[in-house]
Structure formats: structure tokens, C-alpha cells
Amino acid sequence: MKKKYSIITLMVLNTLILLSGVLFIAYSIYFKITFKIINTNIPGAIVGLTVLYFSSRYYKMILKLKTEINEKGTTFSWSNFKRIKK
């Protein structure tokens, strides 16, 4: 049950990030927001699109994590966090 709430929390937070990206795109288009980066004006919508892109990628990662967690026989182990030596 604890796993389920963790996944739901991740999905809710990711949805909030996605919505903030969408709202920032609309806001920056409406108010013509630009950012000066290395002597170049970048539209704010590009920043919002970046947030939107990464949050959509994280949806895929969360769904993959959900399927891995819900497999039978999975248990927590610190060895899962060790780096694999090549």
C-alpha cells in the first residue's frame, strides 16, 4: 500500500510540474516574455516547452517504475543502489 501512495505522489507532483509548464507557456506568449541568455533573447515559451518535455519524459519513467515495483517478488535492497563496475 505504501508503494501505491508513493507512485501516486510522484504522479501528482509531475502533473503539477506539467501544468506549470503549460501555464508558463501561455503566460509568456500572452505577455511576450523573453530571457536574455548569452546576448540572445530567448522566448519564454521555449523555457516552458523544456519543462513540458522533461515532465512528459518523467511520466514514462514513473510508469516504468510502477511496473517494476508491482512485480511479484520485488523487495528493497541496498545493493540496487550500488554502481556497477565496468
- pLDDT per position as a tens digit, 41-61: 999 999 999 999 999 999 999
Is residue 25 situated within a structural domain? yes
Domain ranges, residue 44: 2-71
| pLDDT number for residue 69 | 81
Cα dihedral across residues 25, 16, 14, 11: positive or negative: negative
**What's the CA gap between 59 and 14, in Å, rounded?**
7
Q: Quote the pLDDT of residue 51.
A: 95
pLDDT of residue 83 exceeding 70, the answer is no
Q: Is residue 35, in this structure, part of any structural domain at all?
A: yes
Structure-model confidence comparison of residues 17 and 83, the more confident one: 17
Please indicate, yes or no, if residue 16 is contained in any of the structural domains. yes
Overall domain count for the chain: 1
pLDDT digits (tens, 9 = 90+) for 32-41: 999 999 999 9
Q: Tell me if 82 is assigned to some domain.
A: no
DSSP labels, 9-65:
HHHHHHHHHHHHHHHHHHHHHHTT-EEEETTEEEEHHHHHHHHHHHHHHHHHHHHHH
Residue 28 pLDDT exceeds 80: yes
Query: Is 27 inside any structural domain?
Result: yes
The answer to the question of residue 32 being in a domain is yes
